[in-house]
């Protein structure tokens, strides 16, 4: 009589793998790279354009140098139609400047203040400014975007931010 080979019993485990998301948006703005760069490093100008269309921005701290950064509150105009991450009405972002190449590139890391794991992690935001006919092509590249931020919503937000920057400078 043959006996079956005994196999050890192993518990079934499932690994959840969250794929890092990358989102981008770009726009040609009728302004010089210098004017665009300055809009990123002027604490009085940043709140005028940085928030997406359905929000308002308020800087809580600002230190525009490599190793510095900012803390910004993005306040929903209509929280019922958004997904506030930090409070009932806002998102709070803590960002650091990793690289500041005047008139060319800005690299930031950013984290949302949130208890929701869907918004956890450090996102890298790279902004490039390239002179082109008729202005400057500004590109936002967001890497390691938290899984709770949909690509459609994020791209729409980045596009509205670029439009606000263009409206300010053109």
- What residue ranges do the domains of the chain occupy? 22-169
Contact residues for 113 (Cβ-Cβ < 8 A; gap 6+)? 85, 86, 91, 92, 93, 94
Burial label for 88, CB within 10 Å (0-12, 13-18, 19+), is: exposed
* Cα 85 off chain centre by: 13
CATH T-level fold of 22-169: Alpha-D-Glucose-1,6-Bisphosphate; Chain A, domain 4 (3.30.530)
According to the model, what pLDDT value does residue 84 have?
67
According to the model, what pLDDT value does residue 13 have?
39
According to the model, what pLDDT value does residue 62 have?
97
Task: Please name the residue that has the structure tokens 């300010």.
Answer: 168
Q: What is the pTM of this model?
A: 0.84
If the chain, 170 residues long, is cut into consecutive pieces of 10 residues, what is the mean pLDDT of each piece?
49 43 94 97 96 92 97 86 74 95 97 89 96 96 92 91 96
- DSSP, collapsed to helix, strand or coil, labels residue 91 as strand
According to the model, what pLDDT value does residue 119 have?
87
Q: Tell me the C-alpha distance between 111 and 11, whole Å.
A: 36
Q: Tell me the C-alpha distance between 140 and 50, whole Å.
A: 12
């Amino acid at each position: 009589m043959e006996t079956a080979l005994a196999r050890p019993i192993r518990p079934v485990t499932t690994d959840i793998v969250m794929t890092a998301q990358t989102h981008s948006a770009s726009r040609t703005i009728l302004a010089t790279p210098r004017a665009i760069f300055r809009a990123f490093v002027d604490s009085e100008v940043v709140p005028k354009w940085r928030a997406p269309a359905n929000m308002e921005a308020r800087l809580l701290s600002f230190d525009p140098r490599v190793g510095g950064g900012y803390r910004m509150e993005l306040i929903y105009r209509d929280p019922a139609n958004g997904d506030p991450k930090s409070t009932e009405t806002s998102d709070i972002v803590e960002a650091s400047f990793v690289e500041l190449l005047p008139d060319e590139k800005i690299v930031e890391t950013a984290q949302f203040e949130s208890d929701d794991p869907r918004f956890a992690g450090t996102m890298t935001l790279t902004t490039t400014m390239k002179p082109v006919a008729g202005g400057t092509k500004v590109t936002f590249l967001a890497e390691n975007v938290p899984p709770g931020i949909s690509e459609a919503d994020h791209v729409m937000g980045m596009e509205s931010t670029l439009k606000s920057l263009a409206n300010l400078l053109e």
